[in-house]
Copies of this chain bind each other. A is one copy, B any other.
Amino acid sequence: MITINFDKSPDGLVPAIVQDAVSGTVLMLAYVNREALEQTVRTGHAHYWSRSRKKLWKKGETSGHVQLVQEVRIDCDADTILYLVEQRGGAACHEGYQSCFYRRLEGDDLHIIGERIFDPESVYQK
C-alpha cells in the first residue's frame, strides 16, 4: 500500500473527497483510515471510517446507494484522497440529495439549491 500521511492527524484519519466521475459534482466528504482505503481498493466499493460510530463503514450498506470507485487520487501532501465514483441510486447524501453540499451560503442564510431524490424516512428506519 502506498504512503499516505495517516499520522498527520491525531486520529489517524485523512479526508476523502467524493466526486461523481461523470458529472464532476462533488458529492460528499468522509474520512478514511488505512483499513478503509485498503477495503475500498480491494472491493471497488467506497469504504470509510465513521467518526461518530467509530467503525468501518461501507457506503450504501443501509440505503443500497453504494459507490463504485473508478479512480483514487492522492494530493501533493499525501494527506487527502479523492475518490471518483459512480453513485448508485443517484444520491450520496443521507438527507436524500444528490450531493451533501445542497446548501449555498447567502449572507447569513443558507439557501437550498439541491432537489431531493429520495425521502430519507423511506430509506433509513428510525
Q: Interface of A with B (CB < 8 Å)?
A: 1-2, 10, 15, 17, 19, 23-26, 28-29, 41, 71-77, 80, 82, 93-95, 97, 100-105, 108-110, 113
| Nearest chain B CB to A93 CB, angstrom units | 5
Q: Which residues of B contact A113 (CB under 8 A)?
A: 73
Q: Chain B CB within 10 Å — which of A19, A24, A75, A103 has the most?
A: A75
The answer to whether B28 touches A75 (Cβ under 8 A) is yes
Contact A76 to B93, CB < 8 A, known contacts A15-B29, A29-B15: yes
The answer on a CB contact under 8 Å between A76 and B105 is no
B95 touches A76 (CB 8 A): yes
Q: How far is the CA of A109 from the CA of B74 in the complex (A)?
A: 11
Give the 10 A-B residue pairs with the shortest CB-CB distance, closest first: A24-B24, A75-B100, A73-B101, A72-B105, A29-B80, A82-B101, A76-B100, A76-B95, A74-B103, A15-B15
Whole-angstrom distance between the alpha carbons of A72 and B72 in the complex? 25
Q: CB distance A26 to B105 under 8 Å? A: no
